[in-house]
Chains A and B, each alone.
Chain A
């Protein structure tokens, strides 16, 4: 089961989440949960260290 990159919360199927490849390196898939997205919490790519949003 995937987990949110910012808060490490497990993401269940059907939840309002987003997944996308890291904007910088494109190798790591970033999952963001609904709350982290809503509050604009930062995420860091474990592959290249890119900090978003």
Chain B
């Protein structure tokens, strides 16, 4: 990664590196090859931070064109629950955390039925049921993907470490801030009132 590209990152490179947003797993899938920067000597695949940066901007632009109150944000992962709640609190999206009941998107007679316009999932593998239902109703799926995810039924990916506590906090914080900027509620010079620590799940 050269210096010129690093200047355009949404957060200082040191903050991103210390949170480990670029760290993948020891498994790589064919779908994720374009987003992999290198392999570390210990066998861990490293994600390309410039591509991650670009995808966060694209995803924010994509979501900003929709009715945000009908965008479902899901996480069945423990460390993703608080970031998702905070993201929804800040942006007004609909949170779907913990256990997902089948039929939430497909059964109109179900009491908690929700009709989304787009779905954001923390892990396409862990939130598989949500991806399946979103596919059945024909809504676009945005997924945070690490090196071991495949892109089946996903329409837009954000290549980022979706396993780390700090990494997930940064992912949702960046997305929320960028979304606010796209909606002109925040200028690029303005500080975002919510800190990354507010998004971070406690142990």
Contacts and interface: CB of A to CB of B under 8 A. Distances in A.
Interface residues of B, number: 20
A19 B118 CA distance: 11
Interface in B87-135: 118, 135
B187 to A, nearest CB: 21
Contacts of A40: 31, 150-154
A24 B54 CA distance: 10
A53 B61 contact: no
Interface string B129-173: 000000110111000000000111111110000000000000000
B151 A24 contact: no
A18 B139 contact: yes
Contacts, number: 50
The contact size tier of chain A is 10 to 19
A35 to B, nearest CB: 11
B22 to A, nearest CB: 20
Which of A16, A23, A52 has the largest number of chain B CB atoms within 10 A? A23
Contacts of B157: 52-53
A17 B155 CA distance: 11
A50 B58 contact: yes
B61 A26 contact: yes
A7 to B, nearest CB: 15
A20 B58 contact: no
B65 interface: yes
Contacts of B155: 18, 20, 32, 37, 52-53
Given A23-B58, A26-B61, A40-B153, 11 more contacts: A16-B136, A16-B138, A17-B138, A18-B139, A21-B62, A23-B61, A23-B62, A24-B58, A40-B152, A53-B154, A53-B157
Question: 10 smallest A-B Cβ distances: which pairs?
Answer: A40-B151, A23-B62, A20-B140, A23-B58, A18-B138, A53-B154, A40-B31, A53-B151, A53-B157, A23-B156
